[in-house]
Structure 1
Amino acid sequence: MKKKQLAKLKQQFRPSYETARQQLFTAIENKTAANHDLPTTVYINPKNQDELLIELLKETKKEQKIAVPLDENFKIVVKRIQRQETGLLDRFSDNLVDEIAAYWLPLNPQAAIANKSAQVNNQPETQDKEPATDEAAASSVPAASHQESTDHLSFAAFSEKIAAFPKFSVERTDQEATVVETTPKEQRVLATISELEADNFHITSALERKYKIKLDVIPLIEAYAATALDHR
């Protein structure tokens, strides 16, 4: 009888689903500000209850708001947070904050320097070469900052640009190139691109769940896939 009473008491003190969800939102706001100097506000889209909006409260050259679909997986995680699963709130909010920061913040300085150095070394010398603009140099998204992404992309350039994203890399065989994400638990396939036929590629749901990062990575995949095989 005492065990039942204790279980009932714990149930009464368990936060509601809405409270658990707000705990997650507050954790995201606190961590984006404390860890990345990104003041944000996180809330449900009033026009779409199945969409989460993460709004940056400072100037940015990118979109001010990130829209995140609240799919069934998200709701399951919130329910686990509601059950007060040890460490889950911290782990899940950390992952989301990393995703958010990767969209709004530029590349880390070493990656940016390596990326720019490779571009300079690969560029033919001309007397009329125009200096890079400050906007291009400051851009955190290789696909958005250089016209070559929409023309053609060699494998070396493609793999270097993908590697600029944290934990991302490209593996290649005679049949296909594979974009992967390496985590402590697994290596997750994000996309495959045929090395036998141009314009033949597949984006996995794992990349689709990367929210706004997919808007930076997918153009690179499309550009590489569109590149003629003999130009890769």
Structure 2
Amino acid sequence: MIAELGLALLWIAAALACLSLVAGTLFLRGGSKDLAALVRPASVAQGVLTAAAFGLLITLFVRSDMSVELVARNSNSMKPMIFKVAGTWGNHEGSMLLWLMILSLSGGLIAIFEKRLREDTLVATLAAQAALSLGFFAFLLFSSNPFNRLPVAPPDGQGLNPLLQDIGLAFHPPTLYVGYVGLSVAFSFAVGALITREIGPAFARAMRPWVLGSWIFLTLGITAGSYWAYYELGWGGWWFWDPV
């Protein structure tokens, strides 16, 4: 039931992203202000539902629900709790959902807290953010469903990749993703400003904290990842873009 609920929340969140994009586009093309009024709440709801879906995926890992394929392939009932939780994003599907959650929450935060931009610029920004989200929703829902059930649940899971069984997994991917996704917000602000031609001090002030925050998190994430690879792989050197 938890897996099915998580998948349903993702579908609803995807529909809300589509609503934000369509309503925002129609408003910018001369539509009613009622359309603009839909974009903010839809963006907030999208973020909340995506975060809830990710929370349900964590719950499946914590409960060691081996009927879910992702849990069976990337966890084990005997794992310490920290690795059960971190195992949620220690794989392809879970990491994409983590990325999508941060992306959706970023749009929701813009909708709640951004008051400096003109209404049309804000709507264009949120529509651009929704368009980015839709790409990831489509990828997850049609190609990499993290809530896929197995026909027969195994007695226990295969466990996490040995290289990932490190405390670094709990911190490196989330900080790195916050940094990367934060830059997508800067991109959406730029798209919104270009569409409405509001490139001025208000636009710069709105985008500045996202750029600085992203830079900080990327620095932390890359530094932590380099150190993690240094002692995990034992090369005697830093792991940047070298092939493994």
Return the TM-score normalized by structure 1. Answer: 0.28
Return the TM-score normalized by structure 2. Answer: 0.27
Between 1 and 2, higher relative CO (CA 8 Å, sep ≥ 6) is seen in: 2
**Structure of larger gyration radius:** 1
Higher strand share: 1
